[in-house]
Amino acid sequence: MTRLSVNINKVALLRNSREGNFPDLYQFARDCEEFGAQGITVHPRPDERHIRYEDVYILKDIVKTEYNIEGYPSQKFMDLVTSVRPDQCTLVPDPPGVLTSNTGWDTKEHLTFLQEIVKTLQSYDIRVSLFLNADVSMVESTIETGADRIELYTGKYAQQFEQDKNKAIKAHAETAKLAIQGGLGVNAGHDLNLSNLSFYKNGIAQLKEVSIGHALIADALYYGIKNTIHMYLRELS
């Protein structure tokens, strides 16, 4: 079964609009797990506009399923991750001021850099996933980095889904197949929602995990977080 990891950045963003911890970010993470989520994802950014670095430490003692930390591997980020030692670290190529992650690594250009980062994280028993576009030409160099998994960037898939869902998923299926043949696990994330998730899951062989935040939290405004998590799990079943 494909695991559902809930990205709680948007809950932290709401909390940060006031002083204090309301809504309670930590209780929210506990509740997501209680309602069936199989993982919690956080993406601390340099400006700490949503998840704060102190949150990452606190959540380490709260998350009982799978803890996934996303981010660009700056020295500050690497110090954080190697200190917390999450189950998984998903590396993204985001520059500091970017609004959201909107492209994957060029693993050919950054091969040596990524090899060093991957080796360091794995020495702390952290599974490493690289954010990757659906591009078969990047798979070989991604394997050479030594990473354990890829996370396919699904933003473009989501944009194209309403026009031609078969065309939208084609490159993803091809990239995933080649990655699996090369020994990589496959995750996915970005703009997956209740409309496009099931089709994506069924079209990608051996999809291990999806990380969903924005759409899931938006849906929770209407359906409640417990119902929403159950709805997403049904799409993945």
Residues annotated catalytic, as ranges: 43, 70, 190
Torsion of CA 8, 10, 12, 14, to 10 degrees: -150
**Cα dihedral sign, 80-115-109-154:** negative
CA dist 191 and 81 (Å) reads 25
Tokens representing 62?
Answer: 């709260």
Three-state DSSP at 236 gives helix
Could you tell me the maximum CA-CA distance found in the chain, to the nearest angstrom?
49
Tokens representing 113?
Answer: 């850099």
**Cα dihedral sign, 183-187-190-194:** positive
Residue 67 phi, psi dihedral angles, 5° rounding: -105, 120
CB proximity list for 129: less than 8 A, separation 6 or greater: 68, 88, 89, 90, 91, 147, 148, 149, 150, 151, 185, 187
CA dist 24 and 43 (Å) reads 17
Three-state DSSP at 58 gives helix
